[in-house]
Amino acid sequence: MQMAAAMAPSGQVTDEVLIDIDRVTQVYASAGGAVRALDRVSMQARRGEFISIVGPSGCGKSTLMMIAAGLLPASDGTVRVGGRVVDRPQTDLGIVFQSPVLLEWRTALENVMLQAEARRLPAADAERRARSLLAAVGLAGFEHKYPHELSGGMRQRVSICRALVHTPPQLLMDEPFGALDALTRDQLVLDLQELWQSERMTVLFVTHSIAEAVFLSDRIIVMTPRPGRIAREIVVDLPRPRTLAMRDSAVFHAVSREITDFFLEQGVLRERAAGLSR
């Protein structure tokens, strides 16, 4: 969305920087010597923006998200959210992990309500919102099912609702659809876009999937293999709401191509397996 700034008055993306990651470096001490995970990563996310972080396994993209959430202290550099330095776990956000992380002894609704209980939100309002979020992702009628009675996709939907029930300004997602089958992923990507359009939160979406990143994002941040650095920032100039048909558009192809070419260049992808002979 190149016209992001121009669109500000009508709602979605504003110029206001919400998340400011400034030269964040992460180094792990290990018996075999220090491991560099992130190398001076700087990026900003504007309020209401949908940003994907794409990179190969081990490039530190999940680490970056943990640092942004304040769940992991950075070895060096700072993260500011709304101008305030993050030096402890942030609570002004929702998080979705690759696994749904539901409490097995709570129903779908009770799992979503855990967020409200932890924050001591008024129960009646929170429950109304929880129910409407569950309905929005197609889980009306499943409120009182336990996680083991739900499919993998449904569980992840519950976890997304839990991350949004307190209307946080930020949603951090760490490969949230990585464990799902292709059709379920497509549906969840569509659902997420719709939620984002009605909720207007800032999203940091960590993914392996180039297609998911292109489909969902205003901006894609492409990372190098370890130590993770930001290699490219690509603005996805496709109108909203995006449709599955847009995956065949020239813009979609151009962006996917750019990222794929970068990974080929970096040796993350190889078109000919080295040393394989018949």
Partner 1 sequence: MSTTNQHASGEESPDEHETALAAVEARVQAGLRKRTARARRAALGYPILVVVVIGLLWEYGTRAAGVPPFILPPPSLIAQSLAAHWGLLLNNGWATLVEILLGFGLSVVVGVPLAMALFLWPAFSRSVYPLLVSSQAVPKVAVAPLFVVWFGFGLLPKVLIAFLIAFFPIVINTAVGLESIEREKILLARSMGLSALDTFFKIRLPSALPTVFGGMKIAITLAVVGAVVGEFVGGEEGLGYVLLTANGSMDTPLLFAGVIALTVVGVALYLLVELAERLAIPHAALRQQARGGDTA
The binding site for partner 1 (CB under 8 A) comprises 66, 69, 71, 89-91, 93-95, 97, 99, 101, 103-105, 114-115, 117-119, 146, 148
- Minimum gap (Å) between residue 172 Cβ and partner 1: 8
CB environment 262-276: b (16+ within 10 A), e (fewer): bbeebebeeeeeeee
Nearby residues of 139 by Cβ (< 8 Å), 6 or more positions away: 108, 154, 157, 158, 161
Task: State which residue, 174 or 218, has the beta carbon closest to partner 1.
Answer: 174
From the CB of 231, what's the least distance to partner 1, in Å? 28
Query: 14 or 107: whose CB is closer to partner 1?
Result: 107
Minimal distance in Å, beta carbon 2 to partner 1? 33
Which residue type does 276 have? Answer: L
d(CA 63, CA 71): 9
- Tell me the closest approach of the beta carbon of residue 92 to partner 1, in angstroms: 9
Whether omega before 89 lies within 30 degrees of 0, making that bond cis, reads no
d(CA 168, CA 102): 19
